[in-house]
Each structure stands twice: as structure tokens, then as C-alpha cells.
Amino acid sequence: MQNDKAEIPALTLDDLRKSYLLPRPLLRKKAGTGPGVKRALAGVSLTLGPGLYGLLGPNGAGKSTLIQIITGGLAPDSGEVLWCGHPARGIGFRRILGYMPQQQGLYDSYTGRRFLAYMAALKEIPRKSVSEEVARVSQAVNLAGELDKRLGAYSGGMKQRLLLASALLGNPRLLILDEPTAGLDPRERVRLRTLLAEMSADRIILVATHVVSDVESVASKVVLLRAGQIVDVAPVPELVERYAPGGGLEDVYLSVFGEGDGR
Ligand SMILES: Nc1ncnc2c1ncn2[C@@H]1O[C@H](COP(=O)(O)OP(=O)(O)OP(=O)(O)O)[C@@H](O)[C@H]1O
């Protein structure tokens, strides 16, 4: 796989399936169907080009499972993830990928600067570029003045911004963010939305969220996921026209998912 910045980003999900075995062996029957098996993804196929995509779905819809499979933390039972037509694996893909997980334990004794330098080393960013890169990403998330504080003294919102800065290291072509605005105040949310919209011109950004307003005004398209299957993928105005004429994305969400969860 090449890390060729001139190559047009393309992420393909080809019929991804994943079931979890529940810890009750006697109840297990046929894979994916028995009462001891939880089917989390039931054949997800999708191709994305440059742009910002919202991944919306209620609790249990399969968003985290899908993200973990794309980012390589979990293997699918079947199906494949492709980057520009090649299997999305190995160091080549790690350089292309920036991932901000939902939760992450941070070392309280580290400073923000040390944490970012450590993450830069894990991403194999050349040592001579690290301090410039740390300055660039911390500036982008408005954390440049806080880098020498210890993480134990960071607020929840600052930790969230630090994780985002870490995902931006190396200027990745594919950025995957799981609930990125959790803990951010309204001003920081708007700032993050603007930043993501600016960055989406030449890369793929996938934002999994419950917060409809995070993606409503900035997403090129929204992916609606329910019970491990894609219900629809379309720009917000099209979804509104189909599911909630005269309304907004929140009305689409309620119309498609109702009040229940996604299981
Ligand atoms: N390790 C696991 N073992 C068993 N079942 C699991 C496991 N992880 C997820 N599941 C189940 O798989 C389904 C999809 O879960 P997943 O976490 O991917 O959904 P989600 O859309 O991310 O939900 P949320 O919005 O609550 O984070 C759910 O029914 C969940 O209970």
C-alpha cells in the first residue's frame, strides 16, 4: 500500500459481518442466529470518497463494532476493508489512519506534549518532524498553550481535544472519530465542526455520534445504521425529504429509529 497523498482517498467496506459469542456456551446455536450469539454487523457494504460522513445509529446499532473493524482493532467474521482498492492493513494503513476512540485511559503524569510526542513515535513520524507536528496539531485543537500541563490537571474537554490532536498527527487521509464532541462545551463543539469541515476537502472523515447536530450542518452524507445494517446513505437534505419532509436530521433520526435502541 502506498501513502501517496496524490492518490484520491477511497474507503471500501465489503460485506462486513460480525457476531459476538455470548458467555453462555449451552445457548449457542448456529453462528449469528442462536440465542447465545449477538449479531452486531449483518453485511455492511459502503464506498466513501473525500468528504465528511456522519455515522448515526442508536445504542447497539453496531457503530463501535464497525469502527473497530475499520481501524484494525477487531477482525470481521467475513468481508473486507479496502483502502484505494488494497486491503487496509499494516504500517502503510496505520500511516493513513487517524483514530480518535470513544474513551481512552491517559497517563495522568504525562504532559500533553509528552503524550503527543509518544503517539507520534508510535505512528513512526520521523523524529526531526515531531516537535513541528505536535505544534501543528495542538494549534488546530486550541491546546497549544496547555501542552506543558500534566494530563491529571486537564478537564474532560481538554482530554478530548488532546485525543483529537493525537488523531491528527501525520495529517492522515482517513480520520475516524468516535463521539468526538463528548465533554466539549458548545463553543468547542462549533470549533471542532468547523475544523472537521475544513479538513474534509481532501480526506475521508467518518464521525460516529448520537449527537445529530455534530454532523447535520457539515456532513457530505450521513450513514444511518440500525441493527447492524445500513438503512440509508445520503446527504442530509435527501434524508429529510425521504423520512421527515419539512423537518431536520433529528426528525429523520426519530422517524427511522423511533424511540427504541438499535438491537
Ligand atoms: N464484546 C461484546 N460481546 C457481546 N456483545 C457485544 C460486544 N460488543 C458489542 N456487543 C453487542 O453488539 C451490538 C452492537 O454493539 P456496538 O457497541 O457496536 O453498537 P454501538 O452502535 O456502538 O452502540 P453504542 O452507541 O451504545 O456505543 C450490541 O447489541 C452490543 O450489545
Contacts by residues 189-192 (CB-CB < 8 Å, ≥ 24 positions apart): 189/213, 189/214, 191/142, 192/141, 192/164
pLDDT of 27 = 53
Report d(CA 218, CA 236) in Å as an integer. 9
pLDDT of 112 = 96
Atom 30 of ligand 1, nearest CA residue: 60
Q: Which atom of ligand 1 is nearest to the CA of 228?
A: 14
| Alpha carbon distances (Å) from 114 to 28, 66, 136, 150, 206 | 47, 31, 15, 9, 27
pLDDT of 180 = 87
What value of ipTM does the predicted structure carry? 0.97
Please give the model's pTM, rounded to 2 decimal places: 0.88
Question: In the β-sheet with 204-209, what is the strand arrangement from edge to edge?
Answer: 97-100, 174-178, 204-209, 51-56, 221-226, 229-234
pLDDT of 35 = 63
- Domain residues of the chain, as ranges? 11-104+173-257
Atom 31 of ligand 1, nearest CA residue: 60
CA of 86 to the centre of ligand 1 (A): 28
Report d(CA 25, CA 185) in Å as an integer. 45
Say if CB 67 and CB 176 are below 8 A apart.
yes
Say if CB 116 and CB 138 are below 8 A apart.
yes
Give the three-class secondary structure for 222: strand
Q: Which atom of ligand 1 is nearest to the CA of 65?
A: 18
CA of 40 to the centre of ligand 1 (A): 6
Report DSSP state, residue 127: G
Report DSSP state, residue 8: P
Give the three-class secondary structure for 126: coil
Contacts of 149 (CB under 8 A, 6+ apart): 111, 112
Q: Output the CA torsion sign for 242, 182, 98, 146.
A: positive
Identify the architecture of domain 11-104+173-257 in CATH. Answer: 3-Layer(aba) Sandwich (3.40)
Atom 18 of ligand 1, nearest CA residue: 62
pLDDT tens for the chain, residues 1 to 263: 444 455 788 999 999 999 998 876 555 554 455 567 889 999 999 999 999 999 999 989 999 999 999 999 999 999 999 999 999 988 788 889 999 988 667 888 999 999 999 999 988 899 999 999 999 999 988 899 999 999 999 988 888 889 999 999 999 999 999 988 887 888 888 888 888 888 898 899 999 988 888 888 889 999 999 999 999 999 999 999 999 999 999 999 999 998 655 45
Contacts of 188 (CB under 8 A, 6+ apart): 142, 157, 161, 181
pLDDT of 187 = 84
